[in-house]
């Protein structure tokens, strides 16, 4: 069920991503510094601009203005919850539009302007109503004990309590995959949400993450014995994606389902990943992307695997937070399949 990549080619100026980052961010930072004398940290402004541009670039690459709009919506909430100036975000996006208008042909500019305007539109809408309160995931309320208890244990750094909650679920007959996806996963989403809302610090979130990671390794029961040679699957987070916990759950679920899993973890360099897959010749490769800019690398990995392995290319399955958010985009990245979580993936 392989789909072709069906994206409109990028305007020439965007093909050299780093050139774009340098020139656009330097120009916009200079305009901002001139109009806002209180803005004294130019280096920080440039770093922020590069972040905006990475998301803009990825949204253009997948031809999905809404993807950039979602980023702006998220960024606005992060800034607002920290009492930071939201207007400067709007001003920055407007300046980026001005920059591209003066440098691109009308046709190319129209495409970039539409994407930037999707971001401006989000800011206009939330200026009227205030940012909506968003909770991405629910649906685990039926669990006993309440997942709130796990969230609190994680945030207090109480490993013993966190573990006893998980053990109680397993003892109550809930399968390890279910515990991972219906209890630990939403707890982590909630922790991300609280960081976004500035209710917990980066240190709190890191503590919760490290305890979750050790909970997940304890969940892995001995793999079932299978007769014959097990099917092999390689799992990797694409380069620059550090969000490996979700993929670890997927990899463990495959192992429990009788596959032989090779979990390569976070931020796997594209060359090494392609080399590993070429040597191992697995039946399936599972790739994970969490944020919009990771899709640029995901597409590159898929293109390389297909180009170098041809008809011997394994089935390519993709997943992760950003693909869950963007719906059908995975089809146009050239993957063979997508699953929203480890429960769905392990039924393959």
- Which one of 242, 271, 275, 283 is in contact with ligand B12 (CB under 6 A)? 242
- Which one of 246, 282, 314, 334 is in contact with ligand B12 (CB under 6 A)? 246
Among candidate residues 221, 215, 268, the one with its CA nearest the CA of residue 244 = 268
Q: How far is Cα 314 from Cα 348, in angstroms, rounded to an integer? A: 14
- Segment near ligand B12 (CB under 6 A), from 41-49, 144-152, 191-199, 304-312? 191-199
How many of the other CB atoms lie within 10 Å of CB of 330? 27
**Residue 313 touching ligand B12 (CB under 6 A):** no
Q: How far is Cα 145 from Cα 311, in angstroms, rounded to an integer? A: 49
User: By C-beta, is 287 or 333 nearer to ligand B12?
Assistant: 287
Q: How far is Cα 52 from Cα 91, in angstroms, rounded to an integer? A: 13
How many of the other CB atoms lie within 10 Å of CB of 127? 13
User: By C-beta, is 35 or 214 nearer to ligand B12?
Assistant: 214
**Residue 247 touching ligand B12 (CB under 6 A):** yes
Tokens representing residue 304 in the block: 């390389």
- Which one of 21, 181, 298, 313 is in contact with ligand B12 (CB under 6 A)? 181
- Which one of 92, 241, 296, 297 is in contact with ligand B12 (CB under 6 A)? 241
Residues 6+ apart with CB under 8 A from 13: 19, 20, 103, 104, 108
Q: What share of the chain is helix, strand, coil (3-state, %, to 5)?
A: 65, 10, 30
User: By C-beta, is 104 or 185 nearer to ligand B12?
Assistant: 185
**Residue 131 touching ligand B12 (CB under 6 A):** no
- Segment near ligand B12 (CB under 6 A), from 111-119, 219-227, 271-279, 311-319? 311-319
Closest contact distance (angstroms) between CB of 215 and ligand B12 is 11
- Which one of 71, 100, 262, 263 is in contact with ligand B12 (CB under 6 A)? 71
User: By C-beta, is 104 or 211 nearer to ligand B12?
Assistant: 211
Q: How far is Cα 277 from Cα 233, in angstroms, rounded to an integer? A: 9
- Which one of 32, 118, 188, 295 is in contact with ligand B12 (CB under 6 A)? 188
Write the binding mask 325 to 344 for ligand B12: x where contact by CB under 6 A, - elsewhere: --------------x-xx--
User: By C-beta, is 103 or 232 nearer to ligand B12?
Assistant: 232
- Which one of 45, 64, 185, 261 is in contact with ligand B12 (CB under 6 A)? 185
42 sits in which H/E element: helix 42-61
User: By C-beta, is 105 or 206 nearer to ligand B12?
Assistant: 206
Closest contact distance (angstroms) between CB of 235 and ligand B12 is 7
Residue with tokens 């490290």: 210
> Interface residues for ligand B12 in 195-224 (CB under 6 A)?
195-196, 205-206, 209
DSSP state of 37: T
Q: How far is Cα 226 from Cα 182, in angstroms, rounded to an integer? A: 27
Tokens representing residue 267 in the block: 């931020």
DSSP state of 267: E
CA-CA distances (angstroms) from residue 124 to 100, 112, 262, 306, 325?
21, 18, 46, 42, 22
User: By C-beta, is 11 or 337 nearer to ligand B12?
Assistant: 337
> Interface residues for ligand B12 in 272-301 (CB under 6 A)?
286-288, 290-291
Q: How far is Cα 74 from Cα 78, in angstroms, rounded to an integer? A: 6
Residues that bind ligand B12 (CB under 6 A): 71, 74, 181, 185, 188-189, 191-193, 195-196, 205-206, 209, 240-247, 249-250, 266, 286-288, 290-291, 317-321, 324, 339, 341-342, 345
């Amino acid at each position: 069920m392989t789909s072709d990549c069906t994206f409109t080619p990028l305007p020439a100026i965007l093909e050299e991503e780093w050139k774009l980052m340098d020139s656009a961010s330097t120009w916009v930072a200079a305009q901002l510094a001139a109009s806002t004398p209180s803005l004294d940290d130019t280096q920080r402004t440039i770093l922020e601009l590069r972040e905006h541009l990475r998301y803009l670039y990825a949204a253009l690459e997948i031809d999905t203005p809404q993807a950039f709009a979602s980023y702006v919506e998220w960024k606005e909430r992060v800034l607002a919850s920290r009492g930071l100036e939201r207007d400067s975000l709007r001003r920055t996006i407007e300046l980026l539009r001005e920059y591209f208008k003066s440098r691109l042909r009308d046709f190319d500019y129209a495409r970039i302007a539409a994407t930037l305007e999707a971001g401006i539109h989000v800011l206009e809408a939330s200026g009227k109503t205030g940012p909506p309160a968003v909770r991405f995931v629910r649906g685990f309320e039926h669990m006993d004990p309440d997942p709130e208890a796990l969230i609190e244990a994680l945030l207090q750094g109480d490993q013993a309590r966190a573990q006893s909650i998980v053990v109680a679920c397993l003892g109550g007959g809930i399968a390890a995959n279910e515990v991972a996806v219906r209890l630990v996963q939403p707890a982590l989403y909630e922790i991300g949400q609280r960081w976004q809302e500035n209710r917990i610090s980066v240190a709190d979130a890191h503590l919760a993450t490290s305890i979750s990671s050790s909970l997940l390794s304890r969940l892995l029961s001995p793999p079932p014995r299978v007769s014959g040679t097990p099917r092999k699957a390689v799992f990797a987070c694409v380069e620059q994606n550090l969000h490996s916990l979700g993929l670890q759950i997927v990899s463990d679920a495959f192992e429990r389902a009788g596959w032989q899993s090779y979990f390569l973890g976070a931020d796997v360099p594209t060359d090494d990943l392609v080399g590993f897959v070429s040597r191992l010749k697995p039946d399936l490769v599972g790739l994970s992307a969490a944020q919009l800019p990771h899709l640029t690398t995901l597409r590159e990995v898929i293109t390389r695997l297909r180009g170098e392995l041809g008809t011997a290319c394994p089935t390519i399955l993709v997943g992760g937070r950003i693909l869950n958010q963007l719906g059908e985009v995975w089809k146009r990245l050239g993957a063979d399949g997508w699953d929203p979580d480890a429960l769905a993936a392990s039924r393959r």
